Structure 1
Amino acid sequence: MSIELTAFLLALVAMLANSEYLLGSSMLSRPLVTCTLVGLVMGDITQGIIIGATLELAFVGSFSIGASIPPEIISGSILGTAFAIGAGKSTEIALTLGIPIASFVLLVKNLCFLFILPYFVHKADQYACEGNGKGMDRMNLLGGFFSVNLPIGLVVGLSYLFGSSAINDLLEMIPKFIIDGLGIATGLLPAFGFAMLMKIMIKKTNATFFVLGFALAVYMKVPVTGVAIFGACIALILTGYSAFNGKKDVTEDGNQRLNNNTGNTLGVQEINYENEEF
């Protein structure tokens, strides 16, 4: 396959992964999906899946929360995997190349949001004032395509087309001890990814369950599936099997009550969201 055709197909993969404005949150943007598609394009789908799984662990906590915007993992995953497979290198190289590429392309994406997207947003506002629903839908599709889909596709395709030979020469110059060090770092990054995810999820009311799961997996050698089943059983016990006791009914005053299939209704404790920790 020629390098031009490969670059074109990689651009299509990037555009597909950036099509959430059209398809919704389909998880096509995750490294496990994009790297597998890259492996298919590059003729080594097995290596693509392996690299994708590693990058998925590294980016498992990479989500946009508030003003915090994570690196552009789509382009980083695609180009990192393509360069690594094309050069015949290992997963460590893909991860090493993918992270800085993702950070750089994030700047390009932000520039597109700053200079291209506002035009379509203002036009959508205008159509909204006019009650033109079709115009709003059209601006949503065009805005997503010209501000995200097309620019990222061009960046990925052109980067591989003009940068593959330079990257290959650069990789050949890297000493072996650096490659070995990158291999060690690759083993640490998945733990860092899970730490980012736990930082979002963990709090004092569920920290005990994380420790329990760790003890089961490490000291008792329980497989992940077994830990999941054990956790599901604990969840059912702690909730009193409320999910199986009946269905929730809404009374006239708007409060939810639990129907226990006996004709009686049980009051459900309301949650005070003002004092709840998120």
Structure 2
Amino acid sequence: MSLLTQALIASLVMFIVWLDYEWVHVWTYRPIVLGPLMGICLGNLQIGLEVGATVELMFLATVWVGSAVPPNEILSAGIATALAVTTGDATVAIATALPIAILGSALLTFRNTFMNTFAMQHFEKAAGKADIKGMKFWGIIIPVGLYHLVLFVIPTFIAVYFGADVCVKVLEMIPPEVLAAINCGGRMIGAVGLALLLKSINFNRAWPFFFLGFIFSAYLGVGNLGITMLAVVVVGIIYMYKEKTASNK
């Protein structure tokens, strides 16, 4: 598969994913799904899974707070996975994921504060005239056909088509020890994402269950599936206990 074909496919996948993000919401835009999806389309599912899982952990607890736009995980996962596939090295994704996410945040802010405002003004004028065609044009065609194309699809194509060779040359210049350190740091990002997630819940009452799972995993060697089944059992016990307590009252 040529680099041009890969860039076009990556751009098409990004366009479809943004349509899902804006309209459908079947969660193809989450990195854990987008990474493997991009990997399958570009011919390397293994790297897609690796990058998708890594980027998902990076943005596990990212939420919108007021008008503050967080780093964008969609652009990050899509471009990072495409670059990793084209270079054949998942380390590229770890090194580029956060800068791309910050760029995505800036693009979203520009879209929300300027481009959407411009389109909304024309949409309101069309609505005031009961102009259905004008409302469709400014409410659907312009945001989807132009804004997504300019802000997300074209940058994806440019990053994949022109950035892959540059990334390879940069990687060849970086000592292996530095790449190993970057890879190790990327794996630690998952712990940061988990810590942010724990801060968003009532951890003061949940910490015994957290450490119970840690003990089973670290000292008893129980895998993720076993930990999940243990969690289901614990939730069931708590539910039955509360039901029994409520019935006794």
Question: If the length of structure 1 is used for normalisation, what is the TM-score?
Answer: 0.75
> 2:111: which partner in 1?
112
Matches within 5 A, 1:50-199: 50-89=50-89, 91-125=90-124, 139-142=138-141, 144-145=143-144, 146-148=146-148, 150-199=150-199
Report the Cα distance in structure 1 between the residues aligned to 2:23 and 2:149, rounded to whole angstroms.
Answer: 10
How far did 1:143 drift? 5.5
Give aligned-pair identity as a percent.
23
Matched-pair contact (CA < 8 Å) for 1:79–1:160: yes
Report the Cα distance in structure 1 between the residues aligned to 2:236 and 2:134, rounded to whole angstroms.
Answer: 48
Structure 1 pair 175–119 and aligned structure 2 pair: CA distance change class (3 A): same
Report the Cα distance in structure 1 between the residues aligned to 2:136 and 2:112, rounded to whole angstroms.
Answer: 18
> 1:32: which partner in 2?
32
Structure 1 pair 213–144 and aligned structure 2 pair: CA distance change class (3 A): farther
Question: If the length of structure 2 is used for normalisation, what is the TM-score?
Answer: 0.82
SS of the residue corresponding to residue 5 of structure 2 reads helix
- Corresponding pairs, count: 246
SS of the residue corresponding to residue 205 of structure 2 reads coil
Structure 2's unaligned 5+ residue stretches are none
Higher relative CO (Cα under 8 Å, sequence separation at least 6) belongs to 2
Over the residues paired in the alignment, what is the CA RMSD in angstroms? 3.2
Report the Cα distance in structure 2 between the residues aligned to 1:149 and 1:18, rounded to whole angstroms.
Answer: 10
Matched-pair contact (CA < 8 Å) for 2:47–2:84: no
Report the Cα distance in structure 2 between the residues aligned to 1:139 and 1:242, rounded to whole angstroms.
Answer: 53
1:22 aligns with 2:26: no
How far did 1:241 drift? 7.0
How far did 1:95 drift? 1.0
Structure 1's unaligned 5+ residue stretches are 244-257, 261-265, 268-278
| C-alpha distance after superposition, 1:33-63 (max 9, x if no partner) | 2222322333222222222222222222233
Max radius of gyration: which structure?
A: 1
